[in-house]
Amino acid sequence: MRPGARFGRVQANAQGYRGPEIALEKPPGAIRFAFLGDSLTFGSWSGGNDTTWPHHVLETLRAASGGASYDYINAALPGNGIGELTIQFLESICKFRPDVVALAPAAGGSVADRARAKIGYSGVHYVPSRLARASGSFAWIEKNAVIVMRQIRALSDRGKLKLEPHELRELSREVEARLRDLVTMCQRSGALVVLLTRESKIQRSLSRPAQIWASGSRLFYQPYMSISGLLDAKDEFNRVYRAVAAATGALLVDLVGTLPPTRAYFEDSSHCTPTANRMIAERVAGALWKDPQFQALLRIRSADTRRDLANPATSAVEGARPAMG
């Protein structure tokens, strides 16, 4: 995302993030959010910037808190995993002094790395034919044909990445250590950390045919996985997110089982509709509103605002004070 870039209805602000303009210096009394994640948080299937779930979180909190001042950075980008988020926070987000950091990282990169080592996955999930490169209509048909073939092949584990329980646990231990370090780093900056588990259209409660139908886009990008492998990996990484939240005191927002696996909530295997974005925002905002740390932060910032209004001459000085620790 380049500053000021536009891709369809996705608009980058002057800082290079999706969402409204934001100043480097936090306004006095404001509560600043930073949302770090992958395409779910970025809102790849959303319309305008105001249809993403991070935007709805701020709107919900504003309505509940009677006009409290909030601003936010949606720093998510498709494919961002824990490593990318760690670098991003250190190099570009920390300087904005966010009061709340919401983390929803992708874990798929770790599985892809294991696939390369175990079954020789090249990392190239699709190469369009010459005709597909020349014709957008044929490219659409070709991609759907590729997805259908991968759905059929995913009915079996043959030729797919098969992670034994001890291998999956070994992989998740690496992810857990890196995620714990990221959460701790954000907390040391003075931020309240919110950690989200992941839900997708592929769910264990579905029948086998429904699981195959729901897996289309996931298998397009992860052709080395079977249906059972996708479900096992999702369950294990969600276990990791819960464990890290418990170990660090981060606020956990568990999305598992809250989004029905239907077209009303999922545009494809993983990306949410505007309806689901609002539901995610309500859960995140509701969890924050009940959290004692967030309520304490809200009282402090409200007192700062009242003091600034009563003493306008001191606003510039007050705006320079350090972030809450």
Write out pLDDT tens, residues 201-253.
999 999 999 999 999 999 999 999 999 999 999 999 999 999 999 999 999 99
Checking if the pLDDT of 44 tops 90, the result is: no
Q: Fill in the amino acid letter for 26.
A: K
Where along the chain do its domains lie?
Answer: 6-318
State the average pLDDT over residues 11-23.
Answer: 89
Quickly count: other Cβ atoms within 10 Å of residue 248's Cβ.
19
SS3 at position 212: helix
User: Which residues lie below 8 Å from residue 166, measured CB to CB, with a gap of 6+?
Assistant: none
Banded pLDDT at 325 (limits 50, 70, 90): very low
Q: What does the alpha-carbon distance between residue 162 and residue 34 come to, in Å, rounded to a whole number? A: 36
Residue 10, strand partner residues: 7
Kindly indicate whether the domain formed by 6-318 is annotated with CATH number 3.40.50.1110.
yes
Is residue 37 within 8 Å of 50, Cβ to Cβ?
no
Better-predicted residue by pLDDT, 85 or 12: 85
For 250-269, letters b (16+ CB in 10 Å) and e give: bbbbbbeeebbbeeebbbbb
Checking if the pLDDT of 31 tops 80, the result is: yes
Quickly count: other Cβ atoms within 10 Å of residue 234's Cβ.
22
Predicted model pTM: 0.88
CA dihedral 49→54→58→59, nearest 10 degrees, is: 50
The structure tokens listed for 74 are 């949606």
Is residue 150 within 8 Å of 143, Cβ to Cβ?
no
State the average pLDDT over residues 160-189.
Answer: 92
Predicted confidence at residue 181, as pLDDT, reads: 97
What is the distance in angstroms between the CA of the first residue and the CA of the last residue of the chain? Answer: 31
Is residue 46 within 8 Å of 52, Cβ to Cβ?
yes
Q: Fill in the amino acid letter for 117.
A: A
Q: What does the alpha-carbon distance between residue 210 and residue 198 come to, in Å, rounded to a whole number? A: 19
Q: What does the alpha-carbon distance between residue 76 and residue 84 come to, in Å, rounded to a whole number? A: 10
Go through the chain and tell me how many residues it has. Answer: 325
